[in-house]
Structure 1
Amino acid sequence: MGRFQIVGATVLDGSGRDPEDVTVAVEDGLITEPGGSGERFDATGLTMTPGLIDAHVHLGLSSPIQPQFSFQLSAAEIAADIFATASATLDAGFTTVRDTGGIDGGVVTTIAKGKVRGPRVLSCGPVQCQTGGHGYYGAEWEPTELWNGHHIPGLAALSMMSGNANELRGNVREAFRRGASFLKLCVTGGVVSAHDKLTDTQFTVEEIAVAVQEAAARGTYVTVHAHNNEGIRNAVEAGVRCVEHGTDIDESTAALMAAHDVALVPTFAVVEHLLRDTAEAGLGESIRDRALGVRERMAEALAAAKEAEVRIGLGSDLIGPAQDRRGEELTLRADLETPMEALVAATKTNAEILGLSGEAGVIAPGLQADLVLWNGNPLENPNLFADPANAVVVVQAGRVVKDLR
């Protein structure tokens, strides 16, 4: 990959420190100490950040949702949509993502081999759901046992259904066999659901603990889709390490999460998108009604979690074909916190949540050279994050994968 030095940029290193005008050197895919030989890359007037990390993506839901799960789309079209989203994710400045359900292991390895453009992907494989719970998108009268027929081995597999703890144990082992590097369970109802309410809890503490046990046996962790406090408390009691969404987290639940070092990944962009246009994602208008009020409650939950000093990452949760403006999540979070806090959540904190501390998330010698050069200063104008055109240069593992200069 050779050696080069980026000079002239204002550097936001992801740690939360004030911007600095420093030279950043890259050699053999890693950030190294500046100086010595190598091509000089003039970035005067641009702002450098670490490559962004999205801790909640669904690459496997890149097609219109209902057509995808009613056999109206070919495997070829679904694959094309997945790879287009992966490419757009990189162009938006995201060099690492955690896929929280929808892709099967072949997508991860195909991107890693460089056969298609895309970020580094960590994946849970199919989401683990209770029978008839959130994550089941079969037609109303489709028998549960036919659901696995929607899986496309190596490409797309949204969820697996479990009726009891033994079935869950078998399903999580199958997810690991397919290449999962962590597990995700749905422990409450969801916004994009057909068979439940946001107030429902799903899986018992004992069932969730089975997944935690199986994850621990492989040196990894469980995260949970959860909106209500009872479901979150069940999951914390069972030993999970992370909560996705957390819409109704109150003061006592936030304190419980902090005491057990359970992280939170709020997801605002998906709610904005669903309120704007559910049809765009290939979903019915009833989903919009379910999303009403979620944004405001999630903002209150974020404030409660911050007050309790919960570790808070960042995830967009975008679904359907319109996943090109992933950085809107940082813009939305900047409105609720500060632009710097949004950036740190999307870099340093997300790296910690994903188990990538010391590899990615900050600009420092010895870490992977994942870097973005922005057209302007996103601390002064966080709207820059939302438009991929403002990510002028993207460097992934020391390779320039986008350059609009």
Structure 2
Amino acid sequence: MKTLIKSNALIDGANREPIVNGCMLIEDGVIKAVGKEEDFGSLDEVKVEDLTDYYLMPGLINSHTHLSVVPGLGDQLGQLRLPGERNILRSMPNIKKDLASGVTTMRIMGEEHFIDVEIKKAIQEGLIEGPRLLVSGRGIVASNGHGAALTLSDGEEEVRKHVRENLAKGADQIKLFVTGGVSSSGKGLDFCGYTAKEVAAAVEEADRMGTYCAAHAHGGKGVDLCIQEGVRTIEHGALVTEKQVEKMIRRNMWIIGTFSILFHPEGIEKSDFSDPSIKEKVLRARETEAEVFDMVLKSGVNLALGTDSMHGQMSYEAKCLTRFGANNWKTIQAITKHAAEACQVEDLVGTLEVGKLGDFIALEENPLENIEALEKVKEVYKEGRRILK
């Protein structure tokens, strides 16, 4: 069955100007035509979805998150260490929040017990509704590194082994924890937990399977190693320097901004501020973030956004990026077109163009004029099918 989707205006994610009274023809979940209603002429056996009260845009892509973690509960590593069965159940309301916020694709940046792989299968099989998942399996982290939950990878051979196991289980990409992090006490953000050979081993194993490594990395030597050894995406990047960004541009790398976990009152500050070390790092990151991402935006380096487990908060991520200097169009692309490119799914999603999947959301206001329009998602469609209203 073919479906003609009508809108007030269609923001396709590829072209800055919306298509006023834009329409999409979707068949078997795939966009077959895009244009104004008069461009379609007479269509036989076509179901019409009248969304002329709304502005339509591509489904949002969360480029960095986890399924079972809720930052406001505190002790994120303790949450990851819970039994797999429990964390699958804990993930369900989080997935529902993400879907309701307009997210139709999510890149999962590490879960223990391979729960992300199993939840991805459940969504694909139609057992549960949820965004399309791109999964990493278990995070690759040194025993003394940030992110050390249950699975620890020390030394080149252990890194190789665990990367191979992740890929054998069905990981779409590999997640490394290279530097210190905000939500763990003790080590600073520029602490580097891995050697060049360990990072290189992970990159080599991922590359041989046709995929890539993403690295939790804020700044310092860890970011230098990631650039040097061929990591593709730098997650967070709160302390990256202009020289590092210049090198990233030359290597066509990506920075994935994650702001809500630092700035939102339901983020780290809700519980973990009781640890003075964590509080100090959060406050420091808040001070540097605006300056760093002003530089990042001006540089033109590849940029996408993720909520880092702040479920349902993609609109907040977008507001933060505009606060740091991005215009609404660049911000929209950071959570649609550019996010799809960062996650290597640009042939499937990210824009509303012929041949792409019919993932889109409906908004009452034009987000090009008011980015806060993203806070009120009225309809969510995945592959042309309404999955939330």
Same fold (TM over 0.5): yes
Q: Is the 8 A contact 1:16 1:341 kept in 2?
A: no
CA distance in 2, matches of 1:65, 1:162: 24
Provide the residue aligned with 1:156 in structure 2: none
Provide the residue aligned with 1:32 in structure 2: 32
Provide the residue aligned with 1:351 in structure 2: 340
Give the direction of change, closer, same or farther, for the CA distance of 1:68–1:306 in structure 2 (3 Å limit): closer
CA distance in 1, matches of 2:223, 2:81: 36
Q: Is the 8 A contact 1:278 1:284 kept in 2?
A: no
Deviations 1:226-275 (Å, cap 9, x if unpaired)?
111321111110011110111111111110110111111111111113x5
Once the 2 structures are TM-superposed, how far is the Cα of residue 364 of structure 1 from its aligned partner? 0.6
Once the 2 structures are TM-superposed, how far is the Cα of residue 86 of structure 1 from its aligned partner? 1.1
Provide the residue aligned with 1:45 in structure 2: 53
Q: Is the 8 A contact 1:47 1:375 kept in 2?
A: yes
Provide the residue aligned with 2:191 in structure 1: 200
CA distance in 2, matches of 1:72, 1:221: 25
Once structures 1 and 2 are overlaid, which stretch shifts more, 342-351 or 26-35?
A: 26-35
Provide the residue aligned with 2:209 in structure 1: 218
Give the direction of change, closer, same or farther, for the CA distance of 1:278–1:312 in structure 2 (3 Å limit): closer
Counterparts of residues 305-316 of structure 1 (less than 5 Å): 305-316=296-307
Once structures 1 and 2 are overlaid, which stretch shifts more, 65-74 or 390-399?
A: 65-74
CA distance in 2, matches of 1:376, 1:71: 38
Provide the residue aligned with 1:69 in structure 2: 78
Provide the residue aligned with 2:37 in structure 1: none
Counterparts of residues 151-230 of structure 1 (less than 5 Å): 160-230=151-221
Provide the residue aligned with 1:399 in structure 2: 385
Once the 2 structures are TM-superposed, how far is the Cα of residue 378 of structure 1 from its aligned partner? 1.6
Tell whether 2:314 aligns with 1:326. Answer: yes
Secondary structure of 2:301's counterpart equals: coil
Give the direction of change, closer, same or farther, for the CA distance of 1:282–1:113 in structure 2 (3 Å limit): farther
Please, which of 109, 112, 126 is the counterpart of residue 114 of structure 1?
A: 126
Once the 2 structures are TM-superposed, how far is the Cα of residue 283 of structure 1 from its aligned partner? 7.3
Counterpart residue type for residue 266 of structure 1? G
CA distance in 2, matches of 1:125, 1:73: 15
CA distance in 2, matches of 1:325, 1:28: 30
Give the direction of change, closer, same or farther, for the CA distance of 1:307–1:277 in structure 2 (3 Å limit): closer
Once structures 1 and 2 are overlaid, which stretch shifts more, 216-225 or 59-68?
A: 59-68
| Structure 1 unaligned spans of 5+ | 138-146, 148-159
Q: Is the 8 A contact 2:180 2:218 kept in 1?
A: yes
CA distance in 2, matches of 1:115, 1:195: 42
Give the direction of change, closer, same or farther, for the CA distance of 1:68–1:250 in structure 2 (3 Å limit): closer
Once the 2 structures are TM-superposed, how far is the Cα of residue 182 of structure 1 from its aligned partner? 0.7
Give the direction of change, closer, same or farther, for the CA distance of 1:251–1:289 in structure 2 (3 Å limit): same
Give the direction of change, closer, same or farther, for the CA distance of 1:199–1:115 in structure 2 (3 Å limit): same
Once the 2 structures are TM-superposed, how far is the Cα of residue 196 of structure 1 from its aligned partner? 2.0
CA distance in 1, matches of 2:230, 2:258: 22
Give the direction of change, closer, same or farther, for the CA distance of 1:72–1:187 in structure 2 (3 Å limit): closer
Once the 2 structures are TM-superposed, how far is the Cα of residue 75 of structure 1 from its aligned partner? 5.2
Provide the residue aligned with 1:241 in structure 2: 232
Q: Is the 8 A contact 2:68 2:80 kept in 1?
A: no
Provide the residue aligned with 1:152 in structure 2: none
CA distance in 2, matches of 1:315, 1:71: 19
Provide the residue aligned with 1:84 in structure 2: 93
CA distance in 2, matches of 1:44, 1:270: 35
Give the direction of change, closer, same or farther, for the CA distance of 1:281–1:178 in structure 2 (3 Å limit): farther
Give the direction of change, closer, same or farther, for the CA distance of 1:218–1:315 in structure 2 (3 Å limit): same
Give the direction of change, closer, same or farther, for the CA distance of 1:276–1:9 in structure 2 (3 Å limit): same
Provide the residue aligned with 2:9 in structure 1: 10
Counterpart residue type for residue 223 of structure 2? I
Secondary structure of 1:313's counterpart equals: strand
Tell whether 2:23 aligns with 1:23. Answer: yes
Please, which of 97, 106, 115 is the counterpart of residue 106 of structure 2?
A: 97
Secondary structure of 1:312's counterpart equals: strand
Provide the residue aligned with 2:136 in structure 1: 124
Provide the residue aligned with 2:355 in structure 1: 366
Once the 2 structures are TM-superposed, how far is the Cα of residue 76 of structure 1 from its aligned partner? 5.0
TM-score of the two chains, using structure 2 as the length reference: 0.90
Once the 2 structures are TM-superposed, how far is the Cα of residue 67 of structure 1 from its aligned partner? 8.4
Give the direction of change, closer, same or farther, for the CA distance of 1:391–1:343 in structure 2 (3 Å limit): same
Once the 2 structures are TM-superposed, how far is the Cα of residue 205 of structure 1 from its aligned partner? 1.2
| Structure 2 unaligned spans of 5+ | 35-39
Secondary structure of 1:379's counterpart equals: coil
Q: Is the 8 A contact 1:57 1:98 kept in 2?
A: yes
CA distance in 2, matches of 1:178, 1:222: 16
TM-score of the two chains, using structure 1 as the length reference: 0.87
Give the direction of change, closer, same or farther, for the CA distance of 1:70–1:9 in structure 2 (3 Å limit): closer
Once structures 1 and 2 are overlaid, which stretch shifts more, 41-50 or 219-228?
A: 41-50
Q: Is the 8 A contact 1:86 1:118 kept in 2?
A: yes
Aligned residues: 374
CA distance in 2, matches of 1:99, 1:173: 18
